[in-house]
Amino acid sequence: MSLSEKSEDGHNRAEQIVFEYHERTKHHYHRFAASGYMDWATQPDPFRRYMGAPLVHLPVPEPGRTMLYWQLYADDRVEPAPLSIESTSLFFRYSLSLTAWKRLHDNAWSLRANPSSGNLHPTEGYALLPAVGGIHERPGFYHYAPKEHALERRAELESSVWTALTTSFPNDSFLVALTSIHWRESWKYGERAFRYCQHDIGHAVGTLRFAAAALGWKLSLLDPKDRLAKLLGLNRDADYVGAEREASELLAIVHPRDCTGITFCDLSKVVASQVADSRWYGRANALSPGNEVSWPVIDVVSAATSHPTPINAEDFSGFPLKKSQFELPIGHGERTAEHVILGRRSAVNMDGSTSISAQIFYQMLARLVPTQDNRSVPWDAIPWRPRIHLGLFVHRVNELTPGLYALVRDSAKLEPLKQVMRPDFLWQRPTSCPRGLSLYLLKEGDCRALAAAVSCGQDIAGDGAFSLGMIADYENSLSKYGAAFYRNLFWEAGLIGQVLYLEAEAAGIRATGIGCYFDDAVHEVFGISSYAWQSLYHFTVGGPVEDKRLTTLPAYAAQ
Ligand SMILES: Cc1cc2nc3c(=O)[nH]c(=O)nc-3n(C[C@H](O)[C@H](O)[C@H](O)COP(=O)(O)O)c2cc1C
């Protein structure tokens, strides 16, 4: 059966592969998804480099920018920055750069603006830039090297090729792309690693979108048809001899704020071939010294999800209006965007005592809902309506009864969710809940132990102010957009997570992504027995406990 041929149940082979992959990579109380043991001898290098490619160091931006964090969400008030080496540098600084080095005894490791499951960083970032003073006098295709905060020129493009590639785009726009190196995650997490790679991509979409907002720019995902790998040179076998290959994920346009609705990239076969025929530089470094354990199921699900169906802008008319959003102030808090973005960290432990106000809680949740014009940051980066809703474990939110709650991010899904969840759930709106925020109390009670238990026994899920499961409208979404949308669901989950990370940082607390949870145990909590809805990610938010044994060093020497 070919990948597109339909079987009796109406799903094609690619969708069946996804369903099978998802099922076999669930963690259960009695059995974890298949993974090996961590062989330290093959631990992958977190830094990809293209040896021989010209390296352009970006000037590390001076600290002290005064833009407030909340202004990222009001980006129509930010004057768009011209495209220059300085603005390009800030864009990567806020999205994919190192933010600190940590040291414990003889071990040192870096942290980045974009979080990553297990800090393994499978995501690689690329940019297609026009001629920019200080970077290059001709358009080029670059790999971002986070350790150096530099761009490696992989290819030099003829001006005519650049013009053909960007013909339908506004001036000063450029393209960014993300790829995954599955091995970096599968080294530790085995078969489940493909999921984590996709979560990480979602977080990176978030960091890229917020970085663009800090510069007054917008960012939207594009539909590159099936030609992305060719555009990014990932099929250049000679450049990857002895090195781990990269899987193409997505292409996005970064553009000045005042043009909307760009979803299309005229990446014709001809243009993709012209890019491929350009002058290329560099050979990828090997990340492990050979002997990588292979996880064939990851290659299979990666192939089955690599032919996206174009997503035309969906109808957001039922969503709240931007200005009156939830009767909550759009501007609040004194922390700067720089402080929040570069200071973002995962809590390794939660204190089990910090509570937050209902106002802060509502504000965080309101940030997770798109607006009617779908122009609110960061949701304007993705053209589809929310497919992910939250099943919340509320532990310590002042004025709110502890218990299970649901945030319905698309109110059109309220009835389907009521149908699929436990029939005895209350579906009561808290009296203090702002109008327009579809938050419901499902069941009162202390669910701290339950939250930790379903999160692979991790105490952080019970010791925070709240934790949550991200419940996806799974089967319907794949039926509508095909198997490749499996990735998009994880991207949406990662994007939710990135907002929560930043919101927590802005509120003076912390968050942590939780990729390790017992899938069906979570479904059981909410009474979901239908395979059509699946929990794709967990998160916890609360008062962190610092690990005082660690020393923190600056990300870049000159600081
Ligand atoms: C997709 C994803 C899954 C994660 N899962 C867990 C988890 O199950 N438990 C945990 O303690 N931390 C988890 N984390 C947090 C990472 O370990 C953390 O992001 C990484 O160590 C980098 O640290 P930083 O977030 O402070 O930059 C997860 C992070 C991501 C992005």
Q: What is the pLDDT of residue 30?
A: 93
Smallest CA-to-CA distance from 51 within 281, 247, 228 is with 281
**Confidence bin at 204 (pLDDT 50/70/90):** very high
* Statement: residue 172 has pLDDT above 90: no
Asked whether 430 lines ligand 1 (CB < 6 A), one says no
Minimum-distance ligand 1 atom for the alpha carbon of 99: 27
Indicate if ligand 1 lies below 6 Å from the C-beta of 514: yes
Please give the pLDDT value at position 330.
Answer: 65
Copy the structure tokens of residue 18: 């996804």
| Pocket perturbation via mutation, ligand 1, pick of 512, 517, 522, 545 by most ligand atoms within 8 A of CB | 512
Does pLDDT of 261 surpass 90? no
Residues 55, 148 contacting (CB under 8 angstroms): yes
φ/ψ of 486, rounded to 5, equals -50, -45
Neighbouring-strand partners of residue 474: none
Please tell me the residue having the least CA distance from ligand 1 atom 10: 514
pLDDT at residue 187, rounded to an integer:
96
> Whole-model pTM?
0.97
536 CA distance to ligand 1 middle (Å): 15
CA of 535 to the centre of ligand 1 (A): 17
| Residue-wise pLDDT tens digits, 229-256 | 999 999 999 999 999 999 999 999 999 8
pLDDT for the residue numbered 445: 98
Tens of pLDDT along 314-373?
A: 999 999 887 556 667 666 789 999 999 999 999 999 999 999 999 999 999 999 999 998
pLDDT at 559 over 60: no
Q: In what order do the strands lie in the sheet with 439-444?
A: 439-444, 403-407, 388-394, 466-473, 533-542, 510-514
DSSP for 363-397 reads: HHHHTTS--TTS-STTGGGS-SPP-EEEEEEE-SB
Whether 55 contacts 151, CB under 8 Å: yes
Where are the alpha helices (H) located in 233-321, listed in sequence order? Answer: 269-276, 296-304
The answer to whether residue 260 scores a pLDDT higher than 70 is no
Ligand 1 contact via 119 beta carbon (within 6 Å): yes
Residues ≥6 apart with Cβ < 8 Å to 540:
347, 350, 451, 455, 460, 461, 463, 464, 466, 467, 468, 511, 512, 514
Please state the three-class secondary structure of 172-224 as a single string. Answer: CCEEEEEEECHHHHHHHHHHHHHHHHHHHHHHHHHHHHHHHHHCCEEEEEEEC
When computed from its CA atoms, the radius of gyration of the chain, rounded to whole angstroms, is 22
Q: Say whether pLDDT at 432 is over 90.
A: yes
Q: What is the mean pLDDT of residues 174-200?
A: 97
Q: How far is the CA of 511 from the centre of ligand 1 (A)?
A: 9
CA of 345 to the centre of ligand 1 (A): 9
State the distance from the centre of ligand 1 to the C-alpha of 196, rounded, in angstroms.
10
Read off φ and ψ for residue 35, nearest 5 degrees. -150, 160
Ligand 1 site, residue 207, Cβ cutoff 6 A = no
pLDDT at residue 197 is higher than 80:
yes
Q: Is the CB of 202 under 6 A from ligand 1?
A: no
Q: What local confidence, expressed as pLDDT, does residue 258 receive?
A: 61
Cβ of 482 less than 6 Å from ligand 1:
no
What was the pLDDT predicted at 167?
A: 84
Lowest mean pLDDT among 22-31, 257-266, 509-518: 257-266
Q: Which atom of ligand 1 is nearest to the CA of 501?
A: 25
> Ligand 1: which of 514, 517, 545 to mutate, most ligand atoms within 8 Å of CB?
514
Q: Report the run of H or E that residue 283 belongs to, with start and end.
A: strand 283-284
CB 55 within 8 A of CB 152: yes
pLDDT attached to residue 171: 82
pLDDT in tens, 99-125: 999 999 999 999 999 999 999 999 999
Which residues, including other chains, have CB under 8 Å from residue 203's CB and lie 6 or more apart?
114, 115, 116, 494, 495, 497, 498, 501, 513
Give the model confidence (pLDDT) of 70-80 as tens digits: 999 986 778 99
Instruction: Indicate the DSSP class of residue 80.
Output: P
Give yes or no for residue 388 having a pLDDT over 60.
yes
What pLDDT, on the 0 to 100 scale, is given for residue 257? 63
Task: Please check the confidence at residue 271 and state whether its pLDDT lies above 90.
Answer: no
Å from CA of 375 to ligand 1 middle:
29
Let me know: does 251 contact 207? Beta carbons within 8 Å: no
Q: Which one, of 492, 454, 477, lies nearest residue 18 by Cα?
A: 477
Q: Is the dihedral of CA 270, 275, 279, 285 positive or negative?
A: negative
The answer to whether the beta carbons of residues 243 and 204 sit under 8 Å apart is no
**Which amino acid, 22?**
H
How confident is the model at residue 223, as a pLDDT? 81
Cβ(118) to ligand 1 under 6 A? yes
pLDDT at 1 over 90: no
User: Of 27, 96, 117, which is best to mutate to test ligand 1, by the most ligand atoms within 8 angstroms of its C-beta?
Assistant: 117
Q: With 90 as the cut, is the pLDDT of residue 413 above it?
A: yes
138: pLDDT strictly greater than 90:
yes
pLDDT in tens, 466-486: 999 999 999 999 999 999 999
Examine the pLDDT at 558 and tell me if it is beyond 70: no
Res 262: pLDDT: 60
Note the pLDDT tens digit of each residue in 494-543.
999 999 999 999 999 999 999 999 999 999 999 999 999 999 999 999 99
Is the minimum distance from the CB of 346 to ligand 1 under 6 angstroms? yes
Structure tokens belonging to residue 348: 């390794």
Long-range contacts from 522-528, C-beta under 8 angstroms, 24+ separation: 522/391, 522/454, 522/469, 525/391, 525/404, 525/450, 525/454, 525/469, 526/391, 526/404, 526/406, 526/421, 526/422, 526/442, 526/469, 526/471, 527/420, 527/421, 527/422, 527/423, 527/425, 528/420, 528/421, 528/471
345 in ligand 1 pocket by Cβ < 6 Å?
yes
